Chain A
Amino acid sequence: MNLTQLPLLEQAVFVIAALALMASFALLAQTRLTASIHSFAWQGASVALVTALVASINGIHHLYLSALLTLALKSLVIPWMLHRLVRRLEMEQQVESITHPALVVLTGAALVIFAYWVALPIERLEMAGTRNIIAVSLSIVLLGLWMMIARHQVVAQVLGFMSMENGLFLAAVASTRGMPLVVELGVAFDVLVAAVLFGVFFFHIHESIESLDVDRLNRLTEQEQQP
């Protein structure tokens, strides 16, 4: 089946999912912390919108609740918390230098192609859209993972982690029309607790190494020299 033959609402799902993927690339290349947090908030909002669209297409009411939860958590509460932390640690102006920015983004593009390749066998299930959505969400997950590897700033790593969660949520909503409610609530709870703990850790790390650069977290190596 061709994508253009799908109902308009379902096409909209793809467009917005693609926007979420774009936000992932923005996150990957953005070196200003506050701007990164904004990109993350936009990604959360697009995932919430996809959820709401899927809910209205299939008439599943509990998905509206998930959409609301995602919007509140991923695009309002968590970005707000991160913003406040960045302000309190006085890092709004901080610009992180990425060593090879072009290489980082190109690797990101390669990861997207890899994700489509992984999703290739699922095509045979004859659900035109599913493969696209699974590939897009896997791309977001892998880009989040790549961001955590490529960036050396604790806040950027946390954003990578949280955008992985966005990708997972997108996969669950768009390919399976949402997990059972109890699971979704549990996952949301875990994400919220994780966000709070990340905040706690910012302060601990800041206290112990007086910076938020993970390259300086290097005390624990295999051959530990005792003082």
Chain B
Amino acid sequence: MSGPSFLPLAFTVFTPLVGIILLALMRTLALAGWINLALAVVEFLASLVMAWGVMEQGTLLAHGFQIDSFNVYLVVLTTFVGLTTAIFSRPYMAEVCAQGRITRQRMQLYHSMFQGFQFTMLLALTTDNLGVLWVAVEGATLATVLLVSLYRTPESVEAAWKYFILCGVGIALALFGTVLVYFAAQQVLADPENGLTWSVLYAHARELHPTVMAIAIVFLLVGYGTKVGLVPMHFWLPDAHSEGPTPVSAVLSGLLLNVALYAVVRFKMLADGALAASTMPQVAGHLMMGFGLVSFLVAVLSLQRQRDIKRMFSYSSIEHMGLMTFAFGMGGPLATFAALLHMLVHSLTKSAIFITVGHASHIAGTQSIERIRGLIRTQPSVGWGLLLGVAAIAGFPPFGIFTSEFLVLSATMQSWPWLTMLLLTGLVTAFAGLFRNIHPMVYGAVPEGQVAVRANMLPIMVHMALVLWLGLAIPGFLSGWLNEVTLLISGKGML
């Protein structure tokens, strides 16, 4: 077997599996935090070695795993955000535990399931088998549902129940879609065992039965779309993000939504191939555009009236996922490239924002927007962090989100000019809503007795520096990967 070695990939994916068991048994909580961090470091380093191998030698295809230029950067992103969140979560959760909000047993559960979530995310990204992809995405729900209800308040139990039921139903529809794809594959493939292997299916995409694939893509889009947070299946998302502990919100928003969208795009590639010769070649793309645009607009409007800071940012996540879905749906090299870049910069920025919000709500002792005031005087680092984060997420230059949103807008201008106005209005409205709320939180008068907390700003600074870097110059290897994926998805390269 030529090509890159399998070993770094195995280390990346299976380290968290070891972590689940190890941390579930670990009774010394202080040590468990450090072990969680150490595991995250191992995962990150292994994924870097793996990415290096893929960069040098090209696609890796072995033992049912597949790493091509589409998922390689998402794997590195996942382990990286996992690492920075682990750095943040160690002192943060220790503080929460010291305050008596959660018991020691639940702390153990938290660490174990943090790794469990990492495992399912990495498995979903790296597997070549669409069935295993489904199992992993469902596994991610199961791993995080108890984390959402970690505080055991009536609100958090309700949020977790909603999350469980809605995502469970959604993902069940996705399984029906997967069964239909398997059914279509059996009509064309000689060996039915390969009927769910994405790389084999992709090679035979043109022979798959178009009608079956058209029905399948509807189920898949609605199913995985529930996890992406597309309207009208989005109701779980703000609840789960606002009631769960902050590190969980950071990884949910930064990673889970991306992985679900990744699944949708993989299936879209198959459906586009199958439907290319039929009477409705664009059906998958148009569906995605519709869902994406509606999600974007609904989220922009809902964002305006939120009173909980984490709810507000979770609507912002729906807005950005809607924009990406729209861009992927539009197809074309420019839009696809923009969407891929947007996945990267959004998840870096959003996880940084959630981490900052965690510190801010510890300072103020509440998540209510009306009662968080004067952050920049109390603790300048948190205040500035929040301000810069929001500037980045709202699409200010020179941050990376400006670049990707600009590309999406140009692509829309090219192929659907009349939709550009809707997008622009939406972006401006979102910006206005965010700043109206952020301004008093950062600059307002300091409430009496508000003191600074111990905050490790390193993860936030690294994330923001990366987003800034991506806004100014995209490194050659990354743009090479993004370009290759663009070629794979839209049939034409961007560069």
Residues on A lying within 8 angstroms of B by beta carbon are: 118, 121-122, 124-125, 130, 134, 137-138, 141, 144-145, 148, 154, 157, 161, 164-165, 167-168, 171-172, 175-177, 179-180, 182-183, 186-187, 189-190, 193-194, 197-198, 200-201, 204-205, 207-209, 214, 217-220, 222-224, 226
Q: Which of A138, A200, A218, A220 contacts B159 (CB 8 A)?
A: A220
Q: Are B196 and A138 in touch, CB under 8 angstroms? A: no
Give complex CA distance A167, B192 in Å.
22
Supply 14 further A-B pairs (C-beta < 8 A) apart from A164-B169, A204-B149, A222-B306: A125-B212, A137-B176, A157-B165, A180-B193, A186-B132, A194-B168, A201-B161, A204-B157, A204-B160, A207-B152, A219-B158, A220-B159, A220-B239, A222-B305
Q: Are A148 and B131 in touch, CB under 8 angstroms? A: no
Q: Are A186 and B179 in touch, CB under 8 angstroms? A: no
Q: Are B157 and A208 in touch, CB under 8 angstroms? A: yes
CB contacts (< 8 Å) of B160 on chain A: these are 201, 204
Give complex CA distance A210, B149 in Å.
17
Known contacts A122-B212, A179-B179, A183-B129; decide if A226 and B368 are in contact (CB<8 Å): yes
Give complex CA distance A209, B152 in Å.
12
**Nearest B-chain residue to A190, judged by Cβ:** B138
What's the least CB distance linking A28 to chain B, in Å?
16
- B370 contacts partner chain A, Cβ-Cβ < 8 Å: yes
Q: Can you list 11 contacts pairing A with B, beta carbon distance less than 8 Å?
A: A154-B161, A171-B179, A175-B179, A182-B64, A186-B132, A194-B142, A198-B164, A201-B160, A217-B158, A224-B308, A226-B307
Q: Are B161 and A187 in touch, CB under 8 angstroms? A: no
**Nearest A-chain residue to B243, judged by Cβ:** A220
CB contacts (< 8 Å) of A204 on chain B: these are 149, 152, 157, 160
Give complex CA distance A211, B307 in Å.
29
**Nearest A-chain residue to B149, judged by Cβ:** A204
Chain B, range 126-171, C-beta contacts under 8 Å to A? 129, 131-132, 134-135, 138-139, 142, 145-146, 149, 152-155, 157-162, 164-165, 168-169
What's the least CB distance linking A13 to chain B, in Å?
16
Known contacts A179-B196, A205-B161, A220-B155; decide if A172 and B179 are in contact (CB<8 Å): yes
CB contacts (< 8 Å) of B154 on chain A: these are 208-209, 219
- B313 contacts partner chain A, Cβ-Cβ < 8 Å: no
Q: Mark B165-199, 1 if CB is under 8 A from A, else 0.
A: 10011001101100110110011000011011000
Known contacts A176-B195, A193-B142, A220-B155; decide if A161 and B169 are in contact (CB<8 Å): yes
Q: Which of A164, A172, A198, A218 contacts B182 (CB 8 A)?
A: A172
Known contacts A138-B176, A223-B307; decide if A205 and B157 are in contact (CB<8 Å): yes
Q: Are B172 and A141 in touch, CB under 8 angstroms? A: yes
Q: Are A125 and B209 in touch, CB under 8 angstroms? A: yes
Give complex CA distance A181, B172 in Å.
18
Give complex CA distance A216, B42 in Å.
45
CB contacts (< 8 Å) of B146 on chain A: these are 197, 200
Give complex CA distance A141, B168 in Å.
12
CB contacts (< 8 Å) of A182 on chain B: these are 64, 129, 131-132
Best-surrounded residue of B146, B182, B239, B370 (most CB of chain A within 10 A): B182
What's the least CB distance linking B167 to chain A, in Å?
11
Q: Are B175 and A168 in touch, CB under 8 angstroms? A: yes
What's the least CB distance linking B30 to chain A, in Å?
27
Give complex CA distance A122, B213 in Å.
10
Q: Are B187 and A125 in touch, CB under 8 angstroms? A: yes
**Nearest B-chain residue to A127, judged by Cβ:** B187
Q: Mark B208-242, 1 if CB is under 8 A from A, else 0.
A: 01011001000000000000000000000001000
- B302 contacts partner chain A, Cβ-Cβ < 8 Å: yes
What's the least CB distance linking B422 to chain A, in Å?
23
Q: Mark B74-99, 1 if CB is under 8 A from A, else 0.
A: 00000000000000000000000000
CB contacts (< 8 Å) of B131 on chain A: these are 179-180, 182-183, 186-187
Best-surrounded residue of A144, A200, A218, A224 (most CB of chain B within 10 A): A224
CB contacts (< 8 Å) of A148 on chain B: these are 165, 169
CB contacts (< 8 Å) of B129 on chain A: these are 180, 182-183
What's the least CB distance linking A116 to chain B, in Å?
13
Give complex CA distance A222, B307 in Å.
9
Q: Which of B149, B176, B215, B371 contacts A121 (CB 8 A)?
A: B215
What's the least CB distance linking A62 to chain B, in Å?
10
**Nearest B-chain residue to A221, judged by Cβ:** B239
Q: Are A161 and B165 in touch, CB under 8 angstroms? A: yes
Q: Are B307 and A124 in touch, CB under 8 angstroms? A: no
Q: Are A177 and B142 in touch, CB under 8 angstroms? A: no
What's the least CB distance linking B301 to chain A, in Å?
11
CB contacts (< 8 Å) of B139 on chain A: these are 190, 193
